[in-house]
Structure 1
Amino acid sequence: MASIKLNNVTKSYGHGAKALQVIHGVTSAIADHEFIVIVGPSGCGKSTLLRMVAGLEEITGGEISIGGRVVNALEPAERDIAMVFQNYALYPHMSVFDNMAYGLKIKKVPAEEIKQRVAKAAGILELGKYLERKPRELSGGQRQRVAMGRAIVRQPQVFLFDEPLSNLDAKLRVQTRLEIQKLHRELGITSLFVTHDQVEAMTLAQRMIVMNAGRMEQFGTPEEVYNRPATTFVASFMGSPPMNLLRHAPNADFGGKPGAILGIRPEHLQIGATGWAVQVDTLEMLGAERLVYCRMGDEFLIVRTDESLSSAPDIGATIHVAPRHDRLHWFDAETGKRLP
């Protein structure tokens, strides 16, 4: 197991004036045993960053080190990492046992040790009774567990996960997410996990890297990222529904800052007799809670309410919502960066 350090890592395609830079100077230090999630929208560079750590993409500038060793010039096989892909990448003609053991056989690990490693990984992942089956006889979730087992038996310094849950249905995603959490608790191997799903990121990460257009917008714990987003991008991307960002809110009574963007989470707005006058645009019922979509002049905002505490307002009605004074966020209108 090992720490990972990224020092001003960049990636460009092409050369000279026509070069397209896709990763812009990412710097971060990941401690031994940490589970780090790299999260962001499609095309933000998160998988490219992971592939550079793996050695599947050359870096244009900067330095990557694993366990204190600079790996810029090392091939993937020399980096002591194991990668779990989105599409499982299993050999269809091989049994579960042979899929998990294949990499060890290539390395000429003794047969008895291979058997022990596979049995241990199968026990952790509850695959013991499937070892003789072929991938086509397994569910999607079971195939993904086989892919993880293949990584576990290698006993690497670092696990790299490239959107491993994106091909699973909603129920299996939750189940496999719990299995990955359990796996990390048991093995403690330093892990980088890429996803576009902010719920996945919030539930899995010990710390997360939020990427946007090839740049690291914020690096922190889920609590830090959610409660103190560094930019308007992070504020709007992390959270479901996203934070309300208001440019023309009547904020003078709430300590407003001239020329700033006001951010307020939907759960920190309360419907009552006083506050901002808003018009109800539509409602969304989510079981235990309700989302009220409102219009305030040319601004739109979302209010999250506990379904059991209040009756639903009528669509088109004017209601009043008041923000919690201790939960306001302020951002620079030009740069989008958080204000003190």
Structure 2
Amino acid sequence: MASIQFKNVVKKYIQGKQSLQVIHGVNAEIADGEFIVIVGPSGCGKSTLLRMVAGLEEISGGEISIGSRVVNKLEPAERDIAMVFQNYALYPHMSVFDNMAYGLKIAKVPKDEIKARVDKAAGILELGQLLDRKPRQLSGGQRQRVAMGRAIVRQPQVFLFDEPLSNLDAKLRAQTRLEIQKLHRELGITSLFVTHDQVEAMTLAQRMIVMNAGNMEQFGTPEEVYSRPATTFVASFIGSPPMNLLKNAPGGKPGQLLGIRPEHLDIGTEGWSLVVDTVELLGAERLVHARVGDELVIIRTHEDQGAPAIGSTIRAKPREDRQHWYDASTGKRVGP
């Protein structure tokens, strides 16, 4: 196992006389054994950052270290990493056992050790009864577990996951998230996991890097990122529904945006006056979409509170200890 360090990491693509910079000076220190999720929308640079760690993309500036080694110039095979992709990339003519063992055979690992490693990984991933099957005989979730098993048997210093759950349906995604958590608890290997799905990020991460347009907007625990978003981008990206951001909130501060989570607005007899646009029923909770002035606000309520009528006027009070203020020009958090 090993730590990972990003020092002012930059990525540029050069086309003729033009230069396109897609990663803008990322700095982060990842401790040995941590599970870090890199999250952000499509095109934000999260997979590019991961591929630079893997050695699949050249580093244009700065340094990436794995353990005590700067790996900028090392080939992927020299970095002691294992990668799991969105595409399972299994050999269709090989059995599960042979798919998991293939890299070890190429590395000329002794047969007895190969069997021991594959059997151990199969036990962790509950693949023991499937080792003789071909990939076509497996479900999508089982194929992804084989791909993870192939990475485990290599016993790397670092695991790199590039949106590995994207091809699974919602139920399998939830199940596989639990398996990945269990895997990390058992192996304790430093892991970087890329996703655009904030639910995956919040449930898997010990700490998370939120990327936006090639910049690291925030690096912290899921609780820190959710409770104290560093920028309006993080506030609007993390959370479903996102944080309300109001330019002209009643009692607002000049030059500042007020941020308030939907669950931190309490419907009652005090507070803002709002007109209800629509109500979403989501099982045990409701999302009330309403307007204060010309701005849209979402309020999360529970089923036992009842649903206000569309077009009606209600009052909702923002909790004072859950208000967030942002500089309207920079989008950065103001105050604690």
**TM-score, with length taken from structure 2:** 0.99
Q: Which residue does the alignment assign to 1:196?
A: 196
Residue identity opposite 1:235 in structure 2 = A
Q: Identify the residue that residue 334 of structure 2 maps to in structure 1.
A: 339
- 1:233 CA drift (Å): 0.1
| Residue identity matched to 2:74 | L
Corresponding residue for residue 306 of structure 1: 302
Please name the residue that 1:30 is paired with: 30
Residues 218-262 of structure 1, C-alpha deviations (whole Å, 9 max, x = no match): 000001000000000000000000000000111x2xxx4321000
Aligned equivalents of 1:324, 1:150: Cα separation in 2: 50
Q: Give the secondary-structure state (helix, strand or coil) at the position aligned to 1:49.
A: helix
Instruction: Please tell me whether residue 265 in structure 1 is matched to residue 261 in structure 2.
Output: yes
2:284 match: 288
- In structure 2, the partner of 1:323 is 318
Q: Which amino acid aligns with 2:137?
A: E
Moved runs in structure 1, 4+ residues, more than 6 A? Answer: none
2:13 corresponds to: 13
Structure 1: which amino acid aligns with 2:313? T
Q: Which residue of 1 aligns with 2:145?
A: 145
- What is the aligned partner in structure 2 of residue 229 from structure 1? 229
SS of the aligned residue for 1:19 comes to strand
**Secondary structure of the structure 1 residue equivalent to 2:200:** helix
Alignment of 1:230-249 (within 5 A): 230-249=230-249
How far residue 295 of structure 1 moved from its aligned partner, in angstroms, is 1.3
1:276 to 254, 272, 275: 272
Task: State the match for 1:174 in structure 2.
Answer: 174
- Structure 1 residue runs of 5 or longer lacking an equivalent are none
Aligned to 1:56: 56
One-letter identity of the residue aligned with 2:324:
H
Q: What TM-score do the two structures reach when normalised by structure 1?
A: 0.98
Structure 2 unmatched runs, 5+: none
Residue number in structure 1 paired with 2:80 = 80
Q: Which amino acid aligns with 1:323?
A: P
Post-superposition Cα deviations, 1:59-85, rounded to whole Å, max 9, x if no partner, equal: 100000001100000000000000000
- The within-5 A match list for 1:99-178 is 99-178=99-178
2:211 corresponding residue in structure 1: 211
Question: Amino acid of the residue matched to residue 35 of structure 2?
Answer: F
SS in 2 for 1:235: helix
Return the alpha-carbon distance in structure 2 between the equivalents of residues 231 and 243 of structure 1.
11
Partner in structure 1 of residue 3 of structure 2: 3
Aligned residues: 335
1:135-175 C-alpha deviation (Å, 9 max, x unpaired):
01000000000000000000000000000001000000000
Measure the CA separation in 2 of the matches of 1:65 and 1:168.
32
The CA deviation at 1:15 is 5.7
Deviations 1:303-325 (A, max 9, x none): 000112x1110011111111000
What is the SS of the residue equivalent to 2:334? coil
Structure 1 CA distance, aligned partners of 2:109 and 2:284? 53
Deviation of 1:18 after TM superposition, in Å, equals 1.4
What RMSD, in angstroms, separates the aligned Cα atoms of the two structures? Answer: 0.8
Q: Which amino acid aligns with 2:318?
A: P
What residue identity is the alignment partner of 2:264? H
- Separation in 1 of the partners of 2:212 and 2:17? 23
Question: 2 CA distance for matches of 1:211 and 1:280?
Answer: 34
Identity of aligned residues (%): 81
Counterpart-to-counterpart distance in 2, 1:179 and 1:73: 34
Alignment of 1:184 onto 2:184: yes
- In 2, the alpha carbon distance for the partners of 1:287 and 1:17 equals 56
Mapped to 1, the partners of 2:81 and 2:326 lie a distance apart of 39
- What's the CA shift string for 1:267-312, capped at 9, x where partnerless? 000111111111111111111111001112210010000112x111
2:326 maps to a residue whose letter is: F
Instruction: Return the alpha-carbon distance in structure 2 between the equivalents of residues 316 and 215 of structure 1.
Output: 41
Amino acid at match of 1:165: L
